[in-house]
Amino acid sequence: MAHSCCGPGYASPQIAMQAEPEKILYAIALYTGTGIEQPDYLATIDVDPNSSTYSQIIHRLPMPYIGDELHHFGWNACSSCHGDSSKSRRFLVIPGIRSSRIYILDTADPKAPKIHKIIEPETIKSKTNLSAPHTVHCLANSEIMISMLGDSQGNAPGGFLLLNDNFEIIGRWEENNDLKFNYDFWYQPRHNVMVSSEWAAPKTFYPGFDLNDVQAGNYGQRLHFWDWQQQKIIQTTDLGEEGLIPLEVRFHHNPDSMHGYVGAALASNIWHWYKNDTQWQVEKVIDVPAVELEGWSFPVPSLITDILISLDDRYLYFSNWLHGDIRQYDISDPAQPKLTGQVWCGGLLGKTIEVKGQQLYGGPQMLQLSLDGKRLYVTNSLFSTWDNQFYPDLASKGSYMLQIDCNLEEGGLEINQDFYIDFGKEPNGAARAHEMRYPGGDCTSDIWL
């Protein structure tokens, strides 16, 4: 990828948007929970429409262990280190959320990454009393920060793990910990703030979803605003029952902006936050109504499981995993999003379609947007035990990966009928696909100082 010569990433979101289009893409592929006794792996996918292997998996790197449940991952360095020529975006940090093992992969050969180092779960637990790693962000000081969802026994609340640039454990990041649960985080250094969200204890979500856990208060509903420098919570906002299970948090990419969003999965709504004088304000700005469905004892929520913001901060995208649609909203006015695009790709509402002759199973889940904002990629696996509850066919049929064209002028979404990755036909049997990243950075990993 073309970029300035003075460090990894790009000097600004605007410069990142002018980079060459992505040629390859990395995706997590899972066998955990499918009944196939094979390790999870990292798939390298050709997304260059001018390539002879376009829309194909061109390399697979299996992990040495079975049952990790690889989930979210990140880079050792990104645009937060731009300007430091001693750093490069070379190593992928890939945790197993179920095993608590962390893999460091070397992408010196971008099409064929190799395992560089493994951090064993026993080491993490003994040094930090943490488990269940989730979100990975590189920091401008070369350290790597990972949100951890549990203690060494799988109980809430977890905390934040710090690694140095040699991938050695430094310890825990937070100075205090008034968390009830932990999940995702995003920091905005110019405003000295980090925002974190809440899922549940690993002991709660590992076995699957249980409505009794909702009634027992075993799922989160709060946002936490941290003093980034002092590493302490300065404000906690309880979203109430209308904000149950706030998952992915996204600040505007503009480092001067004080606006951001979080998607509440179970409550199926989007919340907007901004700073007013000295306090962070949080308001609900999008609601997706639940739908009565035959065979269900309660109205089915859309279950918003992933959101992202385009690098120009104009569009917000999110996936409704149970209903089966992806939405595009114009957020030029951050407090009043306007629906501009919607596409159906699976789901429980019977609105699924075919792509390249294949009927789409499961619901749209993980999203990744090209740097120029024109191509949105989507996979459909959420979490192994939850997949098996809500979309049991995924275990035998495998995941899809789709590419959706985004209309940036007038708004709108359209599935690219020439791109379809069928993880159901993998050499070791049907696999499930989760998070995706590009070698040159993307819309959910880079943070600008």
- DSSP for residue 200: B
Strands (E), 20-163: 24-30, 41-46, 56-62, 74-75, 91-95, 102-106, 114-119, 131-138, 144-150, 159-163
pLDDT at 4: 47
For residue 300, the one-letter residue type is V
> Which pLDDT tens digit goes with each residue over 256-290?
999 999 999 999 999 999 998 889 999 999 999 99
- Is the model's pTM score more than 0.85? yes
pLDDT category of residue 318 using cuts at 50, 70 and 90: very high
pLDDT at 352: 83
Give residues with Cβ within 8 angstroms of 378, minimum separation 6.
319, 326, 345, 364, 365, 366, 367, 368, 401, 402, 404
- DSSP for residue 387: H
Q: Are 285 and 335 in contact (CB under 8 A)?
A: yes
Give residues with Cβ within 8 angstroms of 285, minimum separation 6.
261, 270, 271, 272, 335, 336, 337
Structure tokens that stand for 291 in this block? 């739908």
Q: CA-CA distance, 98 to 434, in Å (whole number)? A: 14
Q: Are 326 and 316 in contact (CB under 8 A)?
A: no
Q: CA-CA distance, 235 to 4, in Å (whole number)? A: 38
Q: Is 214 helix (H, G, I), strand (E, B) or coil?
A: helix
**How high does pLDDT run on average in the chain?**
96
Element holding 213 (H helix, E strand): helix 211-215
> Which pLDDT tens digit goes with each residue over 327-346?
999 999 999 999 999 999 99
Q: Are 169 and 119 in contact (CB under 8 A)?
A: yes
Looking at the DSSP assignment, which residues form a beta bridge with residue 195? Answer: 186, 225
Q: Are 373 and 311 in contact (CB under 8 A)?
A: yes
Q: CA-CA distance, 148 to 158, in Å (whole number)? A: 5
